[in-house]
Amino acid sequence: MPSFVIHGDKLLVDNAVKQCLAHYDATDILESNIHQLAASRLDFGELLHICSSIPFIDNYRVVIIDGLCTLMETKSNPRGPQNRNSKTNGIWSTLSEHIPLMPSSTLLFFKDGMLSKNNSLLRVLTKVSETQHVPPPSGVDLSRWMKKSSEEKGAAISPGALKYLSNLLGNDLESIDRELEKLSLYTNGEKIEEPHVLEMVPQAQEANIFRTADAIIEGRAQTSFNLIHNLKINGRSASYIIAMVTRQLRQLTLVHSLLETGENQAKIGALLGISSTYAIQKTVEQAIKYSSEDIKWKYEQLLQCDLNIKLGRLNTDQALETLVFTLSAAS
């Protein structure tokens, strides 16, 4: 029977499954002949029963298992759960014996995210399955993918908009694809430009908040006040802006500490949960500018700002304005 293991980026994995189904002319079959199974709730006996059943009316029965190989990731791999059930040491390792005995009318798919090379079930399934690894593209390949995706949705996209969008979203293809869909509908046949991204993509609006926090921390008073004014026009309060400055300074502290221990940008991004290469790079560049004493002093000014508000000495708008002036005076 045809069996496939497809692992990597979620969007690319889903697309690869669709392409494979199209190849077998199995894209329009009865719902009763399609089985979407979550690995966490999968029973071995039930799987064998489903895969051994002849399809009703259609030529194929499609069985898609989501995340089974991921459950078998070793403890040393941080991308997947620990191998707590030791399934591959038992019954699941016999799949390679059962798959060849299943009817040719069954199309069996194992869908997974990024897997380590030493994944025990992946090694077992590779012996009896067609295997595809579809990692997310990066660099020039990511730009090509984005351009092609945009064109497939009926919209051209400028190089500036491409760069801006990739800086905001990294290589999160699912998010990029979703935003390109929105942008193509919004522009209605016109080329997607940077202002469209700024207006429509939530991360771009958040980026303005981070730009404001960066300007305040760096002591650029005039830029800070201009950005604060724009944020307030769009409904952001002074208390929210102060909270974002606090968050950004906390991240700088963490990055500064990680850099001192010799961690690289990729590891720092993973630890902080930042997917955008651009965002990681900017945070690292900013952290390098300051010593531990600089960061400690800036924290002290934030604490004074908070104290002024809580003691009623200043309202939040006045406290924010004072913070901007204080940080700029020392820069």
Per-residue pLDDT reduced to its tens digit, 263-283:
888 788 888 877 666 677 778
Label residue 317 by pLDDT band (50, 70, 90). very high
**Do 160 and 54 fall within a single domain?**
no
**Do 144 and 41 fall within a single domain?**
no
What single-letter amino acid sits at 252?
L
Q: What is the mean pLDDT of residues 50-72?
A: 94
| Side-by-side strand order, sheet with 61-66 | 34-38, 61-66, 106-112, 3-8, 130-134
pLDDT for position 33: 95
Label residue 83 by pLDDT band (50, 70, 90). very low
Model confidence over 197-225: pLDDT tens digits? 888 887 776 777 888 888 999 999 998 99
The answer to whether 16 and 22 are in contact (CB under 8 A) is no
> Where a domain ends, among 134, 150, 182?
134
**Do 77 and 153 fall within a single domain?**
no
In the three-class reduction of DSSP (H, G, I as helix; E, B as strand; rest coil), residue 70 is classed as helix
**Do 14 and 30 fall within a single domain?**
yes
**Do 299 and 213 fall within a single domain?**
yes
Q: How many CB atoms neighbour CB 57 within 10 A? A: 8
| pTM, 2 dp | 0.64
Tell whether the model's pLDDT for residue 245 goes beyond 50. Answer: yes
Q: How far is CA 147 from CA 8, 151, 157, 190, 231, in A?
A: 21, 6, 7, 14, 31
**Do 258 and 294 fall within a single domain?**
yes
**Do 246 and 222 fall within a single domain?**
yes
pLDDT for position 85: 46
Q: What is the mean pLDDT of residues 106-110?
A: 97
- The enclosing domain of 233 has a CATH number of 1.20.272.10
pLDDT for position 231: 84
**Do 240 and 287 fall within a single domain?**
yes
Q: Tell me the residue range of the domain where 53 lies.
A: 3-134
> Domain tally for the chain?
3
- The enclosing domain of 108 has a CATH number of 3.40.50.300
Report the percentage of the chain scoring pLDDT > 90. Answer: 57
Label residue 48 by pLDDT band (50, 70, 90). very high
**Do 115 and 155 fall within a single domain?**
no
> Where a domain ends, among 184, 200, 216?
200
pLDDT for position 278: 67
DSSP letters spanning 124-172: HHHTTSEEEEEPPP-HHHHHHHHHHHHHHTT--B-HHHHHHHHHHHTT-
**Do 7 and 129 fall within a single domain?**
yes
- The enclosing domain of 170 has a CATH number of 1.10.8.60
The answer to whether 130 and 5 are in contact (CB under 8 A) is yes
**Do 30 and 43 fall within a single domain?**
yes
Q: What is the mean pLDDT of residues 157-171?
A: 87
> Where a domain ends, among 99, 114, 134?
134
**Do 217 and 249 fall within a single domain?**
yes
